[in-house]
């Protein structure tokens, strides 16, 4: 996600971006890349919390988390947080054990980093006069998880935090 006024400058720096990631998206003028990243992570935070709540409820009511994840991933709630970075360890192990939830939430995008991005997004929203109620609630949940020592764990650790573990 890049913001740049000059398309030639973007073309010139493209090889450097290619070293960092697999895809570069021109988001508009200066600063637009940062804003786009914050907006993406704002949505991602709420998305992960929703998946964690659904998996927690399903577990509590006796539904196999692998079955529930398969249903979600083939239905209207399909999303990256359930499909690619599922926060449930059983689902992660069933998919080969490569995601952070299979490794005690080590690696991945840290809860503390998500909290930082949510704080920045909420600050930007406040400055722009935009209401972000889900963002605010997400921030409070990640703030609590961070305060309980989970800041370095992948943000999918929210599943365990919601369970009181």
Enzyme catalytic residues:
37
Q: Are 9 and 35 in contact (CB under 8 A)?
A: no
- 26-28 and 2-3 beta bridge pairing: parallel
Residue 84 per-residue DSSP state = T
For residue 63, count CB atoms less than 10 angstroms from its CB and return exposed for 0-12, middle for 13-18, buried for 19 or more.
middle
8-state DSSP, 26: E
CA distance 21 to 15: 10
C-alpha atoms less than 13 angstroms from C-alpha of 24 in its C-beta half-sphere: 17
Q: How far is CA 44 from the centre of its chain?
A: 4
What is d(CA 130, CA 60) in angstroms, rounded to the nearest whole number?
A: 36
């Amino acid at each position: 996600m890049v913001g740049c006024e000059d398309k030639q400058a973007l073309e010139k720096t493209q090889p450097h971006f290619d070293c960092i990631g697999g895809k570069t998206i021109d988001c508009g003028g200066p600063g637009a890349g940062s804003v786009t990243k914050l907006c993406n992570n704002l949505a991602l935070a709420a998305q992960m919390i929703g998946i964690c709540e659904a998996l927690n409820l399903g577990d509590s009511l006796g539904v196999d988390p692998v079955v529930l994840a398969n249903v979600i991933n083939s239905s209207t709630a399909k999303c990256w947080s359930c499909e690619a970075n599922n926060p449930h360890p059983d689902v992660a192990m069933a998919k080969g054990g490569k995601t952070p939830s299979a490794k005690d939430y080590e690696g991945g995008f840290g809860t503390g980093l998500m909290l930082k991005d949510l704080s920045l997004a909420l600050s930007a929203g406040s400055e722009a006069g935009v209401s972000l109620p889900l963002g605010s609630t997400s921030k409070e949940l990640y703030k609590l998880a961070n305060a309980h020592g989970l800041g370095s764990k992948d943000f999918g650790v929210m599943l365990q935090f919601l369970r009181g573990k």
